[in-house]
Amino acid sequence: MTLELLQKYLDESQNIVFFGGAGVSTESGLPDFRGEGGLFRQKYAYAPEYMLSSSFFRENPKVFYKFHKEKMIPVGFGPNPAHYKLAELEKAGKLKAVITQNVDGFHQRAGSRNVLELHGSVYRNYCLDCHESYPVEYILECESVPYCECGGLIRPDVVLYGEALDDEVVGKAIKYIAQAELLIVGGTSLAVYPAAGLLDYYHGNKLVLINQDPTGYDNRADLLIQGKIGQVLGSLKS
């Protein structure tokens, strides 16, 4: 019944926006942060939230990069049916934007073109001193901390805890959410702000929430689906 209603929403809507998080990539084999088996539930020498902070990056780039390379750069993994279905819907002209908190680039690899990366991407890296760009391959090749030819420290273009989101990306995300007819939210605990707060800009009556665990926004959903997003979206006709 719920899947039928979601299919009806999809069929009827010409302005769909998707908002997602780490749970979109778990069916690709990547762990999320707060779900079952998530990174924040594993034991490390430092709390993962601290290891993903700007202060930790500056104070301990060696440990930061070890964690970043092992856990944040998705070597050997790729998109799953959720990513592919969203790309298909965009191609059909129905989905206007994917707004993601993920830094794994899977939406683009699946074919999505209008992807707003609220938390940046591990595929972009730059020198803190001269701003030279470096591909992810360079980061992976460096045995320890990657430095620029100028001697500056290279950092990934991701938003670390303690840093602000890009105003332009946020502005675009707000515009798409505010204009959306159907907003599909999935694979996110909606626990991290300001990203989660962007949902407040949706004023429609088709807010679909697809998640495995409960979230603080469940009572606002017009359609709540507890399940695996790859399975759910993958089962729909576009």
> Which positions are catalytic?
119
For position 88 contacting ligand OAD by CB under 6 A, the verdict is no
Per CB under 6 A, the list member of 13, 28, 101, 108 interacting with ligand OAD is: 101
* CB environment 81-117: b (16+ within 10 A), e (fewer): bbbbbbbbbbeeebbbbbbbbbbbbbbbbbebeebbb
Q: Which of 113, 191, 200, 203 binds ligand OAD (CB under 6 A)?
A: 191
Say whether residue 13 binds ligand OAD (CB under 6 A).
no
Q: Which of 115, 159, 177, 185 binds ligand OAD (CB under 6 A)?
A: 159
Longest CA–CA separation in the chain, Å: 60
Strands (E), the chain: 16-20, 95-100, 115-117, 120-127, 133-135, 154-158, 182-186, 207-211, 223-226
Per-position DSSP letters for 37-77, written without gaps between them:
T-GGGS--SS-HHHHTBHHHHHH-HHHHHHHIIIIIS-TT-
Determine the Cα–Cα distance for residues 196 and 198; give it in Å rounded to an integer.
5
Q: Which of the stretches 1-9, 28-36, 128-136, 170-178 binds ligand OAD when contact is defined by CB under 6 A? A: 28-36
Is 79 one of the binding residues for ligand OAD (CB under 6 A)?
Answer: no
Task: Out of 32, 88, 90, 104, name the contact with ligand OAD by CB under 6 A.
Answer: 32
- Contact set for ligand OAD, span 37-66 (CB under 6 A): 38, 52
Interface with ligand OAD (CB under 6 A), residue from 116, 192, 199, 233: 192
**What is the closest distance, in whole angstroms, from the C-beta atom of residue 130 to ligand OAD in the complex?**
25
Q: What does DSSP assign to residue 213?
A: S
- Are the C-beta atoms of 108 and 101 separated by less than 8 Å? no
The nearer residue to ligand OAD, 33 or 134, going by C-beta atoms, is: 33
**Nearer CB in complex with ligand OAD: 200/213:** 213
- Residue with structure tokens 């990203």? 195
Tell me which residues touch ligand OAD (CB under 6 A): 21-23, 26-27, 32-35, 38, 52, 101, 119, 159, 161, 186-189, 191-192, 210-213, 228-230
